Amino acid sequence: MFDKILIANRGEIACRVIRTARKLGIRTVAVYSDADANALHVSMADEAVHIGGSPSKESYLLADRVLDAAKLTGAQAVHPGYGFLSENAAFSEACKSNDIVFIGPPVGAIESMGSKSAAKQIMEKAGVPLVPGYHGDDQSPAILKQHADAMGYPVLLKATAGGGGKGMREVWKSEDFDEALEAAKRESLSSFGDDRMLVEKYLTQPRHVEIQVFCDQAGNGVYLFERDCSVQRRHQKVIEEAPAPGMNPMVRAAMGDAALLAAKAINYEGAGTVEFLLDKDDTFFFMEMNTRLQVEHPVTEMITGQDLVEWQLRVAAGQDLPLTQEQLQINGHSFEARIYAEDPDNDFLPVTGTLSYLQPPEESPHVRVDTGVLQGDEVSVFYDPMIAKLIVWDENRDRALSRLAEALSQYRISGMTTNVEFLYNLATAEPFRKADLDTGFIEKHRELIFHKKAEEVERYVPLATLYLILKRNQDAAALASQSADPHSPWHATNGWRSGSANVHDYPLLINGEEVTVLAEQIDASRFSLTTRGSASEVSIQLSGSLNGSGLHADIDGHRVHASVVAHDGIYSLFTQDAAVQFSVIEPDCGDLDDEAAAGFTAPMTGTIVALPVEAGTPVKKDQAIVIMEAMKMEHTIRAPADGTVVEFYCQPGDLVDGGAELVNFEAAKSESKADSE
């Protein structure tokens, strides 16, 4: 076994590998960029080496610097994690040339599966079933479009060197093909340095099921059953589970055998994942093989009781697989939910910011949290916005799903928008509970998952108002205690007024809904609220206490416990079943510069990739105007109507802040209006 390994990655996977290495008595070396100087994986490792600037292309993607760090520290092996250099054949070859073990498959296997087109040709020869499509070498746009037109729409464009939904576009009609192809090629080139494409028939209601395989250097191979990864947005997984619900044991065995057939066709070693599309009639088709550990590997660990990183290290050190196929068994059910810094209500756009408050659920044999961040850390524009992976396990799917919902309700994050509430809504949706799954699940059940009824918002108005009243009283009491006359009536918080009631007006913004609250203080601890919102007017009585962030309320006899965290004028209210953001609406003093609002603003902090039109050019509605990229995702800003791009305030390569003005756009006048003038 190795004495010391270097982890050529960052974040939660680096921390994950360090934990297993520490368990085995193996010393670890971390590498880090400027942005990660104070990151958790750096502090956890025994040693750490700085390898460059914040952008991954200036640090984590520089193979030479990673290898220099390994040689500097005397690391015998490199674990690549996932992403970055994990499926880079040249890096694997460079490790071999420097007598450093690459903890992954042989170079030939990476090369074989590195191109989706080549992989499908190999799988076809091996007898693994394939989705109909074009995987040829001729990459001319006309040929790609010709094949798409011939097989019929919808089709799926996929980067041959890609993964994780990058360089992938659904195309639903022929006239959209050219623009989708350009975007997919551009994103693929940016992410993988390769813009080659394949075109496949897009199956509209498949399940995404993948098989975990493992092979050793002696030629032994096993599959550790399957994971269902059907619930996705932008072809990126959101919640994964193992085993796949409702899986026919005969189909499981057939998929497992096909996955091993795929692995043996390329003389595979180590951990790999063979991904399939599973149709309703139990037919399945090979999609791709990932020659690395997957993000969702923990659910497989939970149902098998095996540490897959330990398996990787043992196989890379030349040891045989720890278990045979007959010794592997499925025990219980497991889910993984990916906690992201993103805004589900804004097309899942990634967000940046500081984790001003971070309280994950308590870990136990049933609950596991894999993360690479701590409270106070920054989620930056340079890397993937995943905060953590929440993994749960129990004896069956229903109980594991209850564990997931409970753990999500206990996951508390403040300082930025996250997808925690979205995940909770998804996990508690009836179709998900019934395992009615396919890759279009989120779109199909959008109204159910994204529900935000006015009456649900109003449930939290009393708690928000009570917190503001009690916090105001606490602050007043603290100020009084520091004064020369703490017993002065000017410091009193008992609600007394000469000849009038003590009424305060609270204009609140709660989860995007404006609500006005009139709060009358009856005495030091009791209040009467009249809530006026867009839907109804309600009067209630409440009382309570505030201890730090802990809020205890009695609302018309209903006792509720919550916690509230403040950050830059925004309050995060956490209850057992929801996380709500609220703020006090400040008086509108008018816009000091109305002209500054003219134009388009950046929806997120990111880099300008391209300006498809020139200033002064007339454009049509929905035509692409600005293309920007952040956190490995490309976003296109389109014209809201026919008009003219008067001026750009940015250029390709510029790093712009979220909210920055990008374009001065002038909408075209209608003919009737022009004629009247």
Domains of the chain: which residue ranges? 4-103, 132-201, 204-331, 339-452, 459-584, 594-676
**CB of 275 within 8 A of CB of 210?**
yes
227 catalytic, yes or no? no
Strand, coil or helix: what is 232? strand
Q: Is the pLDDT confidence value at 439 over 50?
A: yes
- Give CA separation, 64 vs 35, 58, 59, 71, 76, in Å: 20, 11, 10, 10, 16
| Cα 187 to Cα 169: distance, rounded to the nearest angstrom | 10
Q: Is the pLDDT confidence value at 428 over 90?
A: yes
pLDDT at 535: 44
Residue labelled with tokens 């595979």: 268
The predicted-structure confidence for 29-85, as pLDDT tens digits, reads as follows 999 999 999 999 999 999 999 999 999 999 999 999 999 999 999 999 999 999 899
pLDDT at 632: 64
State the average pLDDT over residues 649-675.
77
More confidently predicted of 599 and 139: 139
The predicted-structure confidence for 558-609, as pLDDT tens digits, reads as follows 898 999 998 878 898 998 777 888 889 876 554 434 433 345 788 777 888 8
Residue 497 binned pLDDT confidence (cut-offs 50, 70, 90): low
pLDDT at 210: 97
- State the pairing for strand pair 207-215/270-278: antiparallel
The answer as to CATH 3.30.700.40 being correct for domain 459-584 is yes
Pick the CATH number of 4-103 from 1.20.140.10, 3.65.10.10, 3.40.980.10, 3.40.50.20: 3.40.50.20
Beta strands in 108-219 (DSSP E): 133-134, 155-159, 168-171, 197-201, 207-215
Sequence-ordered list of residues with C-beta below 8 angstroms from that of 235, at least 6 positions apart, any chain: 165, 168
What single-letter DSSP state applies at residue 636? E
Q: Is the pLDDT confidence value at 534 over 50?
A: no
| Cα 550 to Cα 548: distance, rounded to the nearest angstrom | 6
Tokens for 279, please give them. 């149709």
Q: Is the pLDDT confidence value at 537 over 60?
A: no
CATH H-level superfamily of 132-201: ATP-grasp fold, A domain (3.30.1490.20)
Pick the CATH number of 339-452 from 3.30.9.40, 3.90.1150.10, 3.30.470.20, 3.40.50.620: 3.30.470.20
- Give CA separation, 210 vs 252, 596, 649, in Å: 10, 50, 45
**DSSP run (H or E) holding 93:** helix 89-97
What single-letter DSSP state applies at residue 592? S
Domain spanning 594-676, CATH class = mainly beta
**CB of 344 within 8 A of CB of 446?**
no
- Is the bond preceding residue 243 a cis peptide, omega within 30 degrees? yes
**CB of 555 within 8 A of CB of 494?**
no
Q: Is the pLDDT confidence value at 342 over 80?
A: yes
| Percent share of the chain, pLDDT over 70 | 91
Q: Is the pLDDT confidence value at 132 over 90?
A: no
Q: How many CA atoms lie within 13 A of 393 on its CB side?
A: 19
Q: Is the pLDDT confidence value at 538 over 60?
A: no
What length is written for the chain?
677
CA proximity to 501, closest of 540, 527, 476: 527
pLDDT at 47: 98
**CB of 345 within 8 A of CB of 450?**
yes
| Cα 636 to Cα 627: distance, rounded to the nearest angstrom | 5
pLDDT at 493: 58
State the average pLDDT over residues 278-286.
89
State the average pLDDT over residues 240-251.
97
pLDDT at 533: 53
**DSSP run (H or E) holding 465:** helix 461-481
Tokens for 143, please give them. 């040929």
More confidently predicted of 182 and 346: 182
Q: Is the pLDDT confidence value at 677 over 60?
A: no
- Determine which of 209-223, 429-443, 586-600 has the lowest per-residue pLDDT on average: 586-600
Taking the mean position of all CA atoms in its chain, how far away is CA 554?
37
Secondary structure of 374-443 in HEC code, one letter for each residue: CCCCEECCCCCCEEEEEEEEECCHHHHHHHHHHHHHHCEEECCCCCHHHHHHHHCCHHHHCCCCCCCHHH
Strand, coil or helix: what is 57? helix
The Cβ of residue 530 has, within 10 Å, a number of other Cβ atoms equal to 14
- State the pairing for strand pair 155-159/236-242: unpaired
What single-letter DSSP state applies at residue 325? G
The Cβ of residue 676 has, within 10 Å, a number of other Cβ atoms equal to 8
| Cα 506 to Cα 417: distance, rounded to the nearest angstrom | 24
The predicted-structure confidence for 444-470, as pLDDT tens digits, reads as follows 999 888 876 555 677 888 899 889 988
- Is the bond preceding residue 154 a cis peptide, omega within 30 degrees? yes
| Cα 627 to Cα 650: distance, rounded to the nearest angstrom | 11
Strand, coil or helix: what is 238? strand
Catalytic residue among 10, 65, 292, 412: 292
State the average pLDDT over residues 329-345.
96
**CB of 332 within 8 A of CB of 303?**
yes
Cross-strand bridge partners of residue 507:
516
- Give CA separation, 404 vs 125, 427, 428, in Å: 42, 7, 9
What single-letter DSSP state applies at residue 670? P
The Cβ of residue 486 has, within 10 Å, a number of other Cβ atoms equal to 11
Strand, coil or helix: what is 252? helix
CATH H-level superfamily of 204-331: ATP-grasp fold, B domain (3.30.470.20)
- Secondary structure (DSSP) of 95-109: HHHTT-EESS--HHH
Residue labelled with tokens 């292309």: 57
**CB of 97 within 8 A of CB of 88?**
no
pLDDT at 544: 87
**First-residue to last-residue Cα distance in the chain:** 83
Q: What pTM does this model have?
A: 0.79
CB burial readout 139-164, b (16+ within 10 A) else e: eeeeebbebbeebeeebbbbbbbbbb
Say if 132-201 and 459-584 have the same CATH topology: no
Sequence-ordered list of residues with C-beta below 8 angstroms from that of 375, at least 6 positions apart, any chain: 355, 356, 357, 358, 359
Average pLDDT over the chain, rounded to an integer? 88
Type of residue at 560 = V
| Cα 319 to Cα 216: distance, rounded to the nearest angstrom | 7
CA proximity to 583, closest of 659, 504, 503, 511: 511
